[in-house]
Structure 1
Amino acid sequence: MTGHRIKEQLESLKPNEAHKERLFRGIMGAAEFNPSGRRERRSRRPLRSAMLTAAAMICLITTTAYAAAYMGLDVKWLNFLRPADSGQAAYLENGAYVVNQRVTNENGTLDVKQVIGDSHLIYVLMDFTAPEGVALSAERYRFETDLDFEAPGSYSAGIGYEVLDDGHPDDNKISLAMSYQLTRQAPIGSPVTLRVRDLEEAAALPDEFETIVPGEWETTFILDYKDLSTTHAIQREIRLYSHLATLTSISISPIAVTLKVDSPHLRQINEAAHLEPTEMAPNEYTDPYPITIHYKDGTSDTTTIWEGTIVGDYVSDTLTIIKPFTPILNSKEIEAVSFFGAYIPVS
């Protein structure tokens, strides 16, 4: 198989140009490598051709996780977001921003690895290594967290942490996905300072968090990821809990759906919504603002358990509802979204 043919095959993975070149060079380098160090007497052409073919086959038929990790997307992202296929994985990879910044002090080391996001949701992948002798093997971890933007404006947000599987559950290192859900448009391209302090741990709910590693870690980087969302401007009158409101926009990405609603009755709507949820399990409630996602193949999914952030701005009378999705959505296959009786085509 020729180098030209390998490049053609790589197109099916949809990486950007830099990643295609890096992957191509890696395959070519693997084909030339001779681990024994001995000089071969026979012709190199058949061997090189066979090794190129084998390398290309590995690239093309391997798991999505391997392919995306090879191109630069951390495999822990894939295990967390669970893209449906290599196309979705490549789409995420092309939108990711590699930070690779390390902050170390006597209490541990924070490695900020990568960032992905859309217009209202930012995911930050980070590793934390505690001092030797500190076992990080609990079910839940979190930091006290600030994300300060140099861009002007006020950014109300909901913050969460998910512990990712790093393959070593009993050592002094953990991998975390921090979610930062903003009511305003994320200031992509602007500097941001991430400040975390006091690592806390807890067992499964209802266990409460307690500080396991004190200290503070801070780093500044450019929020330079590619926005994965498409925003649809809408002016549709609806009724939320019997009160008149206007659905003004829906933003859809593989990782989240964000809705904006205006209403002069925002306080009454929120009060009524808070009376509706039923606790299904510890800290797990029914969704007070359910949406139904309609797919082009005729199937649909309705949110039933609440996950995400709801923020009511009583100055502007705007309600922002952010719903993250894992596994991620196949956003290109969405036909419409239903919300409190309104059917909104988005394809």
Structure 2
Amino acid sequence: MSREYNEAMNDLRFSPEAKKRMAANLAAAHEQAARPRPDVYAVRGGKRRWRYAAAVAAAVVLVVGVGGVASATGNLMSMANVFDDLFNGPPAQTEVVDKIGRPIGASATSNGVTVTAEAIIGDRTNYAVVFSIAKDDGTAFDVEPLENGILPLGFEGHSRVSVDGVMASGGSSYFYDADPSDNAIQYVERTSATAVGNSIIGHTARVSLKDLKVHGEGEARVLAEGEWNMKFAIDYEDTSVDLPAGQTIKVSGMDATLDSATVSPIALTLEYTVHEVLNWEDQQSGRMSDHNQNEMDRFLDPSVTLNMKDGTTVEIDALRGAGGTREGANSTACNKSIMFDEFLNLDDVASITIGGAELPLP
């Protein structure tokens, strides 16, 4: 199934040369990615609370304002979204073709620039959406890529893709040029989310983008001024594979139990219980203290290794994923979503070792 999924990706509107450049650029960006201090979103309720931390989802250059952004947010459907659907119509429908979601008519034009949602792929809790950005007059954008191929671009301020019914999310974004011979560039948002109903499929994605800027030395300059808003239904084929669970694992030297594990061509999603509690200290609202950040890292850093059928192994840095913790009396429930740098062909994977426990793929 995953091989068919990978082949379906080749049907996107990119030339073979562009696809090769995209894969190379993603790998190069991963090598230069800087890990930021994550933001935190806490959900309070009774005596227990979830703490969510978002780290970079990989393949992003995270220099301030350049090439990407890491975020953590909570976003249940607001009253504004309800009224928007009432007065401005329902979201665009998404057609699933060869396992990939292709939004129908999800585009917006402002000041001679059109942004189009081209494709969305993912599993139950992780997705990547690809947008094209093009000038209506057919001319190309005046921007040079960085050495790793990522374009030093960013949208203004609070521009984002949000999803109705999501309680918390974390992810990253970046720009690249899949085919330099045409006038379009590509914008990608990659997100891991905790959603009502345990799946984001069927929810509505709402896109709000403003003022495309070029970043570099000095103040950023506006490349394309405008506002682009659209919405579309999230739909694609869920390619998650459930892995055996229940094993005892180690997380930063602590004993833990693996409650569930799923893998897809884009991400590994874990739930586990650490048999210790976080040593949490009071902090000011806003960004997490260094002490609490280290505690989150300690609980959200299971070792992960992909064991390939050809005998090679791939070490995965779990701290680059998004995750959360919930404290109990004597234990801590943890969830972790780790998006891969490249699309993973599950047919090539023999097993995944998590915290010392080897899980064979079915």
Please tell me whether the aligned partners of residues 235 and 248 of structure 1 are also in contact (alpha carbons under 8 angstroms): yes
Matching residue within 142, 149, 152 for 1:140: 152
Matching residue within 256, 260, 283 for 2:267: 256
User: C-alpha offsets along residues 227-265 of structure 1, whole Å, 9 cap, x if unaligned?
Assistant: 122123512222322323222222111222222222364
Q: Do residues 292 (structure 1) and 305 (structure 2) align? A: yes
Matching residue within 56, 70, 75 for 2:14: 75
Structure 1 counterpart of 2:230: 219
Q: Do residues 230 (structure 1) and 241 (structure 2) align? A: yes
> Mind listing any 5+ residue stretches in structure 1 that lack a counterpart?
1-12, 16-63, 83-91, 277-286
Q: Which segment drifts farther, 310-319 or 174-183?
A: 310-319
Structure 1 counterpart of 2:341: 326
Matching residue within 185, 197, 202 for 1:189: 202
Q: Do residues 149 (structure 1) and 163 (structure 2) align? A: yes
| Mapped partners of 1:255, 1:305: distance in 2 | 14
Equivalenced residue count is 259
> Mind listing any 5+ residue stretches in structure 2 that lack a counterpart?
25-95, 146-150, 280-291
Amino acid in the other structure paired with 2:266: I
Q: 1:243 to 1:336 in 2, by over 3 A?
A: same
Name whichever structure is richer in helix by fraction.
1
Amino acid in the other structure paired with 1:339: I
The higher radius of gyration belongs to 1
Q: Which segment drifts farther, 73-82 or 332-341?
A: 73-82
| Mapped partners of 2:319, 2:166: distance in 1 | 28
* 1:1-347 to 2 correspondences below 5 Å: 72-75=11-14, 78-79=19-20, 80=22, 94-100=98-104, 101-106=106-111, 108-129=113-134, 135-138=142-145, 139-143=151-155, 144-150=158-164, 152-168=165-181, 173-184=184-195, 185-203=198-216, 210=220, 212=222, 213-232=224-243, 234-263=245-274, 265=276, 267-268=278-279, 271-272=294-295, 274=297, 288-303=301-316, 307-314=320-327, 317-347=332-362
Tell me how large the CA RMSD over aligned residues is. 3.8
| Mapped partners of 1:263, 1:305: distance in 2 | 16
User: C-alpha offsets along residues 149-208 of structure 1, whole Å, 9 cap, x if unaligned?
Assistant: 34x451322232242422149x6x4212221222444421233222223324335xxx69
| Mapped partners of 2:246, 2:9: distance in 1 | 39
User: C-alpha offsets along residues 7-38 of structure 1, whole Å, 9 cap, x if unaligned?
Assistant: xxxxxx969xxxxxxxxxxxxxxxxxxxxxxx
Q: Which has the higher contact order (CA 8 A, sep 6+)?
A: 2
Secondary structure at 2:245's aligned position in 1? strand
Q: 1:214 to 1:163 in 2, by over 3 A?
A: same
CA drift of 1:291 comes to 0.9
Structure 2 counterpart of 1:5: none
Please tell me whether the aligned partners of residues 290 and 304 of structure 1 are also in contact (alpha carbons under 8 angstroms): yes
Please tell me whether the aligned partners of residues 167 and 193 of structure 2 are also in contact (alpha carbons under 8 angstroms): no
Q: Normalized against structure 2, the TM-score is what?
A: 0.59
Q: 1:168 to 1:74 in 2, by over 3 A?
A: closer
Q: Normalized against structure 1, the TM-score is what?
A: 0.61
User: C-alpha offsets along residues 61-102 of structure 1, whole Å, 9 cap, x if unaligned?
Assistant: xxx98x965xx43327944358xxxxxxxxx96211111522
